Amino acid sequence: MSVPRYWREIPGRTRLEAQKCSKCGHVIYPERLRCDKCGGVLLEPYTLPEKGKLLTFSIVRSPPSNFVKMAPFVLGIVELEDGTRITTQITDIPVNDVSIGMSLEAVFRKISEDGDSGIIQYAMKFRPAFR
Amino acid sequence: MKPTSDVVISGWGSYIPLYRITVEEIARIWGKSSRHFRDDLLIDEKAVAGMDEDVATIAVEASKNALSRAKISPKELGAVFVGSESKPYAVKPTGSIVAEAIGATPRVLSADMEFACKAGTECLQCSIGLVGSGMINYGLAIGADTAQGAPADPLEFSAGCGGTALIVGQKEKVKEPVALLEGSVSYVTDTPDFWRRPKQDYPSHAEAFTGEPAYFAHIISSTKMLLDELSLKPSDFKYAVFHQPNGKFPIRAARSLGFKKEQVEAGLLVPYIGNLYAGSSVTGFSAVLDIASPGDRVLVASFGSGAGSDAFSFLVDDGVMSKRDVAPTVMDYIKRKQNIDYAIYTKFRKKIVF
Ligand SMILES: [Zn+2]
């Protein structure tokens, strides 16, 4: 990912900042110029909840080159407490212990490093809720 | 030292990674006996950061816990300081990553502090100064490390990962103060007991020199100076937290100052998670706040190689009770653990190069 793109996406990726359509109430994440449901352009700032449940997942064993050192890892679709569904990595759990329906919470983590001299990219992942 | 207006701790929070490696597992690889580490140095296992963790991620989780307990908006923070010797970038502040991730930007002062294991309390001293002078309402001081130990080096058995965030505020403005700062001192000399030169992956140390002229001379002097300035004696304290490179040093320092073992035990975490370096003394303090009662007096004394020690005296207040359950305690994190073998450890700690 380019530095400008990473920088632009920091609020959404690291603080789960999203938008809510003031016409139909649809939650838009990541940010867009128009509501992807009704096409509305009046979008309010909205922060996603940090807790949810795992809807489905896949274990990634053959990742793109930037993620090889992280393999194996779990890519999941998490349904947040407000019903919003997001695609995210599941962390802090052996890949074979991941199960559909488990309670998860958001954690700020490292996503990848752009080689040894590029930037380090951070974003929210989800881990099993432990408390 | 004492600020012109009273300063209190308004929130505290820690983070310790999930993974642990035992001293037996490290000893197995190098054909050494684990007995010295377990019986003399009192280290059972140490915390290890996962593949997707570094000082920035540790600092962010600790800070969010501290913010929950402080019950303030991140926008009220006037300063975010990160103290560490394992910064993710050699050049680029960790503080800006943390400040952005917790939502404290852009009207905020931020910097990374470095003074080996004393960097966390250095952040605390600076935050106290800014808050106590009225320049800012709240300051966030973080001590965190993913400490490096060279393979087979004695430090490999103790260098752990984790950290703590402390939020300080003006006594007048904090509704539920956690602990009042009674005073602090800093004691610094040029003592080269431990160092890391540029582009070196692992630190070097002057072996036995790290004890008497470094750790003990500094931490004992700073504590004596503090007790002198505040006209207090060891028996006035319920708890005492000393920097914990191992279990032996803080107990010996405490004893020679006249503190009892019971005063030190609550904050002694090195058996479970190893030496958190810049996170060590502040995480010990955090564990004490997790169990302390209003009226308890707490001594916190850090040590940083190079060398120096910051010592603080805090008087615990009512907020400690109402804020405790808002975030996970240090013990919650210590109990949440998964042991790994040396092979996975080398992968997590980037000792495999490809
Ligand atoms: Zn809409």
pLDDT in tens, B101-113: 999 999 999 999 9
Q: Which of B194, B122, B92, B120 lies closest to B153, judged by CA?
A: B194
Which chain B residues contact residue A110 at CB under 8 A? Answer: 51-54, 56-57
Residue B353, pLDDT score: 80
Instruction: Tell the residue number behind the tokens 């995210």, with chain if given.
Output: A88
Looking at every residue in chain B, the average pLDDT score rounds to 96
* Residue B192 pLDDT grade (very low, low, confident, very high; cuts 50, 70, 90): very high
Task: Verify whether residue B85 is a known catalytic residue.
Answer: yes
* Residue B208 pLDDT grade (very low, low, confident, very high; cuts 50, 70, 90): confident
* Residue B350 pLDDT grade (very low, low, confident, very high; cuts 50, 70, 90): confident
Nearest to A92 among B50, B97, B328 (CB): B50
The one catalytic residue among B45, B53, B61, B85? B85
pTM over 0.80: yes
CA separation (Å) from B45 to A107, B161, B281, B287? Answer: 24, 11, 18, 18
Cβ–Cβ below 8 Å for A107 and B97: no
Asked if B101 has any chain A CB less than 8 Å from its own CB, the reply is yes
* Residue A1 pLDDT grade (very low, low, confident, very high; cuts 50, 70, 90): confident
CATH number of B181-321: 3.40.47.10
Closest Cα of chain A to B263: distance in Å? Answer: 29
Question: Half-sphere exposure of residue B111, counting CA atoms within 13 Å on the CB side?
Answer: 11
CATH architecture observed for domain A49-131: Beta Barrel (2.40)
Q: Which of B306, B281, B318, B251 lies closest to B14, judged by CA?
A: B281
Which chain B residues contact residue A15 at CB under 8 A? Answer: 101, 103
Residue A44, pLDDT score: 97
Give the residue range(s) of CATH 3.40.47.10 domains in chain B.
Answer: 7-177+327-337, 181-321
Helices (H), chain B: 23-30, 35, 55-70, 94-102, 119-132, 217-230, 248-257, 261-265, 270-273, 280-289, 319-324, 330-335, 342-348
Nearest to A69 among B51, B61, B100 (CB): B51
Q: For residues B45 and B47, give the distance between their C-alpha atoms in angstroms, rounded to a whole number.
A: 7
In chain A, whose CA is at the least distance from the CA of B88? Answer: A120
User: What confidence tens digit (pLDDT) does each residue in B56-78 have?
Assistant: 999 999 999 999 999 999 999 99
Which chain B residues contact residue A131 at CB under 8 A? Answer: 328, 332
* Residue B351 pLDDT grade (very low, low, confident, very high; cuts 50, 70, 90): confident
Q: What share of chain A is helix, strand, coil (3-state, %, to 5)?
A: 15, 45, 40
Residue B135, pLDDT score: 97
Q: For residues B245 and B291, give the distance between their C-alpha atoms in angstroms, rounded to a whole number.
A: 23
Q: Which of B19, B90, B102, B92 lies closest to B59, judged by CA?
A: B102
| Interval between CA A43 and ligand 1 midpoint (Å) | 8
Query: Is-contact B320 B292, C-beta < 8 A?
Result: yes
User: What confidence tens digit (pLDDT) does each residue in A75-131 have?
Assistant: 999 999 999 999 999 999 999 999 999 999 999 999 999 988 999 999 999 999 987
- Select from B52, B55, B73 the residue whose CB has the most chain A CBs within 10 Å, as the one to mutate to test that interface: B52
Q: For residues A85 and A99, give the distance between their C-alpha atoms in angstroms, rounded to a whole number.
A: 17
User: What confidence tens digit (pLDDT) does each residue in A20-76 have?
Assistant: 999 999 999 999 999 999 999 999 999 999 999 999 999 999 999 888 889 999 999
Residue B285, pLDDT score: 98
Q: For residues B287 and B302, give the distance between their C-alpha atoms in angstroms, rounded to a whole number.
A: 15
* Residue B209 pLDDT grade (very low, low, confident, very high; cuts 50, 70, 90): confident
Residue B325 has pLDDT above 90, yes or no: yes
Query: Is-contact B221 B209, C-beta < 8 A?
Result: no
pLDDT, mean of residues B192-204 = 92
User: What confidence tens digit (pLDDT) does each residue in B290-322 have?
Assistant: 999 999 999 999 999 999 999 999 999 999 999
Residue A66, pLDDT score: 84
Using the CB atoms, write b or e for A48-86: b if 16+ within 10 Å.
Answer: bebebebeebeebeeeeeeeeebeebbebebbbeeebeb
Tokens of B26: 């490290």
In chain B, whose CA is at the least distance from the CA of A115? Answer: B354
Residue B207 has pLDDT above 80, yes or no: no
- Select from A9, A95, A108 the residue whose CB has the most chain B CBs within 10 Å, as the one to mutate to test that interface: A108
Q: For residues B205 and B278, give the distance between their C-alpha atoms in angstroms, rounded to a whole number.
A: 17
Q: For residues B10 and B280, give the distance between their C-alpha atoms in angstroms, rounded to a whole number.
A: 20
Angle between helices B94-102 and B55-70 (to 10 degrees): 40
Phi, psi of B107 (to 5 degrees): -85, 80
Q: For residues B241 and B179, give the distance between their C-alpha atoms in angstroms, rounded to a whole number.
A: 15
Residue B354 has pLDDT above 90, yes or no: no
ipTM above 0.85, yes or no: yes
| Interval between CA A11 and ligand 1 midpoint (Å) | 21
Instruction: Tell the residue number behind the tokens 């960097």, with chain if given.
Output: B119
Which chain A residues contact residue B97 at CB under 8 A? Answer: 122
Which chain A residues contact residue B163 at CB under 8 A? Answer: none
User: What confidence tens digit (pLDDT) does each residue in B21-30 have?
Assistant: 999 999 999 9
Q: Which of A44, A2, A6 lies closest to A22, judged by CA?
A: A44
CATH architecture observed for domain B7-177+327-337: 3-Layer(aba) Sandwich (3.40)
Task: Verify whether residue B243 is a known catalytic residue.
Answer: yes
| Interval between CA A82 and ligand 1 midpoint (Å) | 16
Q: Is the dihedral of CA B143, B149, B155, B156 positive or negative?
A: positive
Task: Verify whether residue B123 is a known catalytic residue.
Answer: no
Angle between helices B248-257 and B217-230 (to 10 degrees): 40
Instruction: Tell me how many degrees the CA angle B214-B200-B101 measures, rounded to the nearest 5.
Output: 90
pLDDT, mean of residues B189-217 = 90
Residues lying with their CB under 5 A of ligand 1, a single-atom ion: A 21, 23-24, 26, 35, 37-38, 40
pLDDT, mean of residues B335-354 = 92
pLDDT, mean of residues B39-63 = 97
Residue B20 has pLDDT above 80, yes or no: yes
